[in-house]
Structure 1
Amino acid sequence: MMLPNSLLFLFLLMSSSLAQPTSSKQDMLIQCLTYHSKVPIPFSTTFFTPNSSAFTTILASTADNLRYIVPSVPKPEFIFTPTHDSQVQAAVICTKQLGIHLRVRSGGHDYEGLSYVSQIETPFIVVDLAKLRSVNVDIQQNTAWIQAGATIGEVYYRIAEKSTTHGFPAGVCTSLGVGGHITGGAYGAMMRKYGLAADNVVNARIVDVNGRNLDREAMGEDLFWAIRGGGGASFGIILWWKIKLVPVPSTVTVFTVAKTLEQGGTKLLHKWQQVAATELDEDLFIRVIIQLTSDSKSGKKTVATLYQGQFLGGVERLLQVMQTGFPELSLTQKDCTETTWIKSVLYIANYPSGTQPEILLQGKSTTKIYYKAKSDFVKDPIPETGLEGLRKRLMKETTPMMIWTPYGGMMSNISESAIPFPHRTVLFKIQYLTIWQAANQNEAKHIDWIRKLYSYMAPYVTKSPRQAYVNYRDLDLGINKKSNISFIKASAWGNRYFKDNFNRLIEIKTKVDPENFFRHEQSIPPRPLPARRTRN
């Protein structure tokens, strides 16, 4: 009987390892990758072990949460940085054949480090897509094909390079890796006008569990639905997204207005909750950044609210919209700057004034911090008494931050089941952060503080389930375990991230990856395989 080429190669490879005890897993993996890749692999610049001089640099290159690269955290056995789609296919085929656990990283902004850390399963390797970052913009067709390793900032730049009246509604942070970003939904400053990035994806290419490179037609509509908001690394490895570009005006207006509590900040924040999602023009996005500052008169620590806005239009119409819908902010022309869409991206991302768009081509984040984050969604305005209690708790932490992001507009016009992202009929989303600057700098104290704050907020946020955003992974909500997947435990976080869509995600996972090859601490679990029948 003739064996298929792939089985014959595996047989020879395993026989070789038995005949040569000194043959290492690394050698076997390299041989397998070489065999299955359609193009030569330059291993000296793409394959790194802990003994490689560049290993630590590569591992830390896009890890934005320093908590997960400290010495005590498990490190991968190898890091592979493919330069061609077929090399990603080979990585799936080979790790599956050799029984090696695989993690995939496109940008490294996952809050719990799940793309480059495995806390429950070792050894493991990381496939880092950072070298796969092409962005091919077609203005005539209003589309672009983008590789998973590109950052959203690079995508923005390449669109603006071709047109001043096209854009894309994705993330505020420009160093986000596109691959994982869109798998969670991906919100940004144009979400109230155009929805999420995932709402504007028209095709994709994914490597499935069998190493096949599939487009939308080949993968089928179920899998295409699942990857647009169902969370990263559960169904395969995203290689490319095809996105639909959206129109933007030649003039965009941005502004920031700061108010402390001594300046009526509590009442203003209460009013913002009532109008930001439901009353304001969908061309207007105003988020609120809440953090500590020093009072200008007394010098004492106080809580500041920064109202940061982007308006798709000129300042004259913006002021009319504000006067009608949110006069309490007292926005003036002096507060506003008219600019282009691409420069408004830089503004919202908090680049210094005068920064040129070319900085977006640097890709990687320059901000490396230790932090813990959590998220919530709010359907009814938090009363002023609740805001006052929140203020007191913020004052107890060293470097707390909250970001309130308004929904409404197009977001509320899209069905909760259109894609796995279900958080449509809410007023706003809350992101909680606590930040510190050095390893072991009272980490337990900071994490205890944010957990207590999260508990305090329970009466004011969504319930049954208490919703959370999958791109802000939070392992406090529960984790999968390799050998004992509990669906009751998985639903504890799955229902929060996906609501009723979680059940459909499980069915699709069971269909496309029944043995759970693509897995991490909060990946979508398949239903258990049927137990084998035994004869009495």
Structure 2
Amino acid sequence: MLNKILKTLLLIYIPFHLILTSSSSLVPQSFIHCLAQKVSSSNVSALSVMYVPKNSSYMSILDYTIHNLRFLTPNTPKPLAIITPLDYSHVQATVKCCKKSGLQIRIRSGGHDYEGMSYISEVPFVILDLNKLRSISIDTEDNSAWVESGATIGELYYWIAQKSPIHGFPAGLCPTIGIGGHVSGGGVGNLIRTYGLAADNVIDAHIVDVHGQILDRKSMGTDLFWAIRGGGGASFGVIVAWKIKLVRVPPIVTVFKLTKTMKEGAVDLIYKWQYVAHKLSEDLLFRITISSRIGMPGIEATFGSLFLGRTNQLQKIMQESFPEIGLRKEDCIEMSWIESVLQFAGYQRGESIDSIKNRINPLPDGYFKGKSDLVHKAVPFEALKEFWKRCSDANAPIIHIELHPYGGRMNEISESETPYPHRKDVLYEILYLVLWMKDKNGESTQKNINWIKELYEFMTPYVSKGPRGAIWNIRDLDLGANGASDTSYSKAKAWGSRYFKNNFKRLAVIKGEVDPKNFFYYEQSIPPLVLHAKRKCRRANFNFLDKCP
């Protein structure tokens, strides 16, 4: 018994002493003391989960999942500490100790945040990096899986495929994206027209709330469970794991990619595509990528398809609905669903599926800025011609623009089913990306951001209105930001309604119930709307909240 007591004392005292002597003087000692005690009580040294600027590995851990070099400069604000929890008790400890010490917390799972909000802040902060919480448990008999938030999409896809050739999951295309942020923001992918969003296929979740408690679907309640499936989980707590519904895919799927230039009728095909893609069989995703021609002038449009069926079926559909594309049998490639994941992620044909487990991007990281739109009515032909002209101009930057069709299953889910409201009547969504590899004194950044803002402004008459919609997973600080932790609901509504439409108010009310003091705050976190009324009113149909006292 005495040896056990001595061991416990050493676990508490020694890590605490070492952290104190190696940490930055900016880290509040109350935080270090609190974390050292709580982490060491789980028989793990605090040194194994906490990194401060004087640690030799601090920068490598900070940089590891930062994919946008705009947020990896000497002037970018750095965290006072990075916590890499090994189990859920470390997450609980971090939340409690940050609250006690008055530190803001940033929650990072994959690091693909378009605006860096998951790992930068203008006030003293701590990063809670979930990349070591990445276990995946697949149950094909139950058609479900538990996946921790630090796992990547690629890792999830890989382990599903290892268990079954006829199971998949409707999430995104980039394999290095973290599950935590992707699912909580909605999650658009190649199976969207068949099975909806990633968030539409969530069965349960485990979240650490503002009090440091671990809640599941039952204990968190229907409101909070609704909010985290598309409303951005980091506003409400730390989602450490998701239980997801696996979906059926055939043993063989068919893909094709056809690239067209202006001379080959690209604009005409895009114009026609707008009237067709959202109406096709829900087993067929027919998308377009408009991108710069690397090493050559101008741009090109790549028409790509994932079809949950065989070549002969796909050819018949395309011949009837879109003969202009000229699809031939030799253009189609039959493969397994997991092979199609590699195909759309940009890997070479025949590359091992082990590649999608790699947490490092297959392409070098660079600087980028992204924006998004939703299209409800086909863009006029002349406007498309002008759009193409702007993007192919000799002075235009490197661009990557995706047109992703909706329809199918997305038409069957109501706008209020989850916080993600962009459903029925959406023809397609647009992702605008401008990329650059070098940035001397910030000149390239300013030039390219100005360029994409001008393109975005040009598109204003042709996209959704009242308000102009945006995709939460493609976060954009140009839409607005919280100025301080007490930002009002009315101010935040200017950008919040862009992402969530009428669902924004319900999100704010739920935030007011579970985190009224706004501990889980960042530049575009949901603000708390605290209604001083009877609970019965707060729990009423949120479409009638305006009638609450």
Query: How far apart are 1:293 and its partner, in Å?
Result: 2.2
- The 3 A distance-change label for structure 1 pair 529 and 420 is closer
Deviations 1:301-349 (A, max 9, x none): 2221001111111111111111111111111111111000100010011
Number of aligned positions between the proteins: 507
Cross-structure match for 2:338: 342
Unaligned runs of 5+ in 2: 1-12, 533-549
Cross-structure match for 1:134: 135
Cross-structure match for 1:398: 397
Cross-structure match for 1:429: 429
Cross-structure match for 1:477: 479
Distance 2:56 2:37 in 1: 26
Distance 1:349 1:49 in 2: 35
Q: Do structure 1's residue 75 and structure 2's residue 78 form an aligned pair?
A: yes
Query: How far apart are 1:484 and its partner, in Å?
Result: 4.8
- The 3 A distance-change label for structure 1 pair 293 and 506 is same
Query: How far apart are 1:354 and its partner, in Å?
Result: 1.5
SS at match of 2:338: helix
Cross-structure match for 2:145: 144
Instruction: State the superposition RMSD in angstroms.
Output: 2.1
SS at match of 1:463: coil
Q: Do structure 1's residue 93 and structure 2's residue 92 form an aligned pair?
A: no
Distance 1:219 1:185 in 2: 19
1:125-524 to 2 correspondence within 5 Å? Answer: 125-278=126-279, 280-293=280-293, 301-366=297-362, 367-396=364-393, 397-425=396-424, 426-439=426-439, 440-524=442-526
SS at match of 1:291: strand
- Kept in 2: contact 1:34–1:40 (CA 8 A): no
Deviations 1:58-112 (A, max 9, x none): 1111111110111111111111101001100110011101111111100011100
- The 3 A distance-change label for structure 1 pair 138 and 265 is same
Distance 1:172 1:300 in 2: 26
Query: How far apart are 1:529 and its partner, in Å?
Result: 8.9
- Kept in 1: contact 2:107–2:127 (CA 8 A): yes
Distance 2:460 2:401 in 1: 15
- Kept in 2: contact 1:62–1:365 (CA 8 A): no
Query: How far apart are 1:460 and its partner, in Å?
Result: 0.4
Query: How far apart are 1:515 and its partner, in Å?
Result: 0.1
Distance 1:528 1:249 in 2: 48
**Length-normalised TM-score, structure 2:** 0.89
- Kept in 2: contact 1:514–1:529 (CA 8 A): no
Deviations 1:112-144 (A, max 9, x none): 00010113xx11110100000000001111100
SS at match of 1:211: coil
- The 3 A distance-change label for structure 1 pair 520 and 50 is same
- Kept in 2: contact 1:39–1:84 (CA 8 A): no
AA aligned to 1:362 is: N
Distance 1:514 1:336 in 2: 54
Cross-structure match for 1:3: none
Distance 2:495 2:71 in 1: 21
Q: Which moved more, 1:365-374 or 1:253-262?
A: 365-374
- The 3 A distance-change label for structure 1 pair 30 and 200 is same
Query: How far apart are 1:508 and its partner, in Å?
Result: 0.1
Q: Give the number of the structure with larger relative contact order, counting CA–CA contacts within 8 Å between residues 6 or more apart.
A: 1
Q: Which moved more, 1:127-136 or 1:302-311?
A: 302-311
Distance 2:29 2:486 in 1: 31
The percentage of aligned residue pairs carrying the same residue is 48
- Kept in 1: contact 2:513–2:530 (CA 8 A): no
SS at match of 2:131: coil
Cross-structure match for 2:540: none
- Kept in 2: contact 1:400–1:435 (CA 8 A): yes
Q: Which moved more, 1:207-216 or 1:349-358?
A: 349-358
Query: How far apart are 1:483 and its partner, in Å?
Result: 5.0
Q: Which moved more, 1:185-194 or 1:31-40?
A: 31-40
